[in-house]
């Protein structure tokens, strides 16, 4: 299964933000969407999630046109989303944060505790399961948000769209998130990441798109992008080292 953004165009008035952009994400791969501020990557990412709608172009889930579907309907089709802003309920425990999502799914009630415990173990949250959201570290909060995203739907999401997953977390937490993303890919989940932390993102992507001025400047593997003269000129800089 694949998410495809086809010939996407987005403008606000006369200002063109995204101009004929084409990107795709398949199950079982991690794809980065990067670029300098004002490049149009955030708008493109939001179009993938359903937060924004394009003026022209289509968003496909395989052969299904999902361009007009809002986020909650895309979630039912297996497209999960992790926002940059903290979404953990601060006065609820980790366990209750996950339970809130399970209650909205079609998962039978008798399976809730099984899935809950599996998620707590997988994301190393069992020791803080009864801690309130306000008591969590940045890394624990991010892991809780990821666990909640995977709790959605009967089988969990087929795709996960991550908005700045490395923002506001320490180096140890960055490594933990990278490890989790790799595990999700191994479970045949397709992952799209947009983040300002270039090294951390390219370290885990199978390939990435670099945007500039609303268009795709380049795409390829991390190694190909590191060695691309245009990417170095307009984004990474000549002194960038992986």
Q: In the prediction, which pLDDT does 45 show?
A: 95
Helix residue ranges per DSSP H, 69-207: 71-76, 94-102, 109-122, 138-151, 171-186, 198-202
pLDDT in tens, 86-107: 778 889 999 999 998 888 777 7
- Taking the C-alpha atoms of residue 205 and residue 221, their distance in angstroms, rounded to an integer, is 8
Handedness of CA 173, 174, 175, 176 (dihedral sign): positive
Which DSSP state fits 3?
A: E
Domains and CATH numbers, the chain: 2-89+156-236 (3.40.50.300)
Instruction: Spell out the SS3 assignment of 82-122.
Output: ECCCCCCCCCCEHHHHHHHHHCCCCCCHHHHHHHHHHHHHH
**pLDDT tens per residue, range 150-185:** 887 656 789 999 998 888 778 888 888 898 899 889
- Centre a 10 Å sphere on the Cβ of residue 93 and count the other Cβ atoms it contains: 17
Residues (pLDDT < 50) of the chain are none
Q: Torsions phi, psi of 35, nearest 5? A: 160, 165
pTM: 0.87
**pLDDT at res. 11:** 95
């Amino acid at each position: 299964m694949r998410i495809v953004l086809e010939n996407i165009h987005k403008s606000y008035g006369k200002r063109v933000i995204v101009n004929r952009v084409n990107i795709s994400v398949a199950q079982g791969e991690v794809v980065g969407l990067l670029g300098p501020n004002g490049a149009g990557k955030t708008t493109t990412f939001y179009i993938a999630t359903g937060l924004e709608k394009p003026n022209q172009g289509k968003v496909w889930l395989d052969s299904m046109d999902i361009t007009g579907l809002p986020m909650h309907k895309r979630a039912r089709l297996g497209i999960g989303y992790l926002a940059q802003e903290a979404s953990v309920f601060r006065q609820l425990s980790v366990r209750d944060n996950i339970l809130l999502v399970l209650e909205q799914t079609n998962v039978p009630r008798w399976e809730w505790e099984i899935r809950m415990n599996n998620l707590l173990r997988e994301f190393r949250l069992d020791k803080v399961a009864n801690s309130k959201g306000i008591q969590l570290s940045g890394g624990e909060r991010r892991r809780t948000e990821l666990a909640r995203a995977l709790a959605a739907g009967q089988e969990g999401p087929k795709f996960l769209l991550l908005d700045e997953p490395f923002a506001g977390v320490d180096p140890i937490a960055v490594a933990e998130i990278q490890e989790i993303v790799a595990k999700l890919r191994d479970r045949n989940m397709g992952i799209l990441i947009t983040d300002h932390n270039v090294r951390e993102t390219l370290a885990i992507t199978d390939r990435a798109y670099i945007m500039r001025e609303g268009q795709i400047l380049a795409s390829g593997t991390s190694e190909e992008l590191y060695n691309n003269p245009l990417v170095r000129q307009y984004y990474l800089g000549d002194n960038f080292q992986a």
